[in-house]
A = this chain, B = another copy of it.
Amino acid sequence: MQPSTNNDSGIPNEFELIARLSELESAKNIAENIAAGNTILTGIGDDAAVVSTPASQMLMTTDAIVDGVHFRSADERWFDIGWKCAVSNLSDIAAMGGVPDYALVTLGVPPGASVKTYADFYDGMNAAFAEFGGAIVGGDVVSCPTMFVNIALTGHPSTDSLGEPTTMRRTEAQPGDLVCVTGPLGSSAGGFEALLRGDPNPSSDILIERHYHPSPRIEVGSKLVASGVRCAMDISDGLVGDLEKIAKSSRVNITIEMMNIPLATELISMFGSGAIELALSGGEDYELVFTASKPLVDNLVANKIGLTVIGSVDFSESPCGQVKIIDVNGDLYEPVRKGWDHLNV
């Protein structure tokens, strides 16, 4: 679609932009993206969207990104930014083991914004929803000196082996559980570091791709629920910081074997021993970390669910909320940073 404006500034006003975005949406037939069929009863263009509820329980999450904090508008990678914003929300649904349904998108639009920017941004979001589930059903557009985007996403729980809707919680880690991750860590952080260095090579290209196009673990999340896993979260802020949240919520302590943390070959070849720091503190790979009993983990492995055991939940419960990292020599390791704090960057 050719963007156009009907005022002199070239900047669409709120109503024009909503109308244009509404056209973008309908042009893409986003309703078709929903597995459940014709569940969007009315979309953008009324006071509220009307949708059918696919289950008796609903998951709700929201995640915002801000120019200069979570992305750089100067890079003009609008498709990628849209993709990643959708993925950060999808990943929260994956972390509960849920299935994504409906998204509301709020755009904070700075002076001089172009429709093309937002068309590309929507393409990125829609591509992620098309691949992993969910669809945009409405939103808001507001003027803001700083560009921001907020997505609110609903989903519904997957079912357990008895067909009951079930979610994975941060509160359910049990002493003696093994701690597992669903894939290699640190690649996205490595890609970001590679971007800053600006020295292209095959390894950096792969890491940069991981940085721009992470995938939420929707499918494996559902499989974990069906298999009986009850404690998980997504690693969005960094392994250590996120594990501390599980430890605090579940009132347990956790010990991680540093040498067991899975790392991408490219991360090791590019960063050597620095790779482990990226894996410990780098978020945005959107892998899941979960805890489960040894028999259950054996069962997951037998069923070819990709996982790596990286540690265990301690039997000592007091004081709780601690995450210990043991290095290759059996010594305690102190990471340089634990995670990513959006208010202190």
Residues of chain B with a CB closer than 8 A to A57's CB: 41, 50-53
Most B-side CB within 10 Å, residue of A95, A139, A143, A171: A143
Is A137 interfacial (CB 8 A cutoff)?
Answer: yes
The answer to whether A66 touches B157 (Cβ under 8 A) is: no
Is A127 interfacial (CB 8 A cutoff)?
Answer: no
**If A50-B167, A152-B152, A233-B47 touch, does A62 touch B140 (CB 8 Å cutoff)?**
yes
Residues of chain B with a CB closer than 8 A to A96's CB: 46-48, 50
When chains A and B are docked, how far (Å) is the Cα of A170 from the Cα of B106?
A: 21
When chains A and B are docked, how far (Å) is the Cα of A150 from the Cα of B107?
A: 10
The answer to whether B143 touches A342 (Cβ under 8 A) is: yes
Report the minimum CB–CB distance from A343 to chain B (whole Å).
4
Q: Which residues of chain A in 230-248 are interfacial with respect to chain B, using CB atoms and an 8 Å cutoff?
A: 233-234, 241
Interface size on A, residues (CB 8 A): 73
Number of copies: 2
The answer to whether A59 touches B70 (Cβ under 8 A) is: no
Residues of chain B with a CB closer than 8 A to A106's CB: 62-64, 150, 152
The answer to whether A154 touches B60 (Cβ under 8 A) is: yes
Contact of A148 among B52, B58, B108 (CB under 8 A): B108
When chains A and B are docked, how far (Å) is the Cα of A63 from the Cα of B105?
A: 10
Question: Hey, which bits of chain A sit against chain B, CB under 8 A?
Answer: 11-15, 17, 41-42, 45-53, 55-66, 68-70, 91-93, 95-96, 98, 102, 104-106, 108-109, 137-146, 148, 150, 152, 154-155, 157, 167, 169-171, 233-234, 241, 249, 341-345
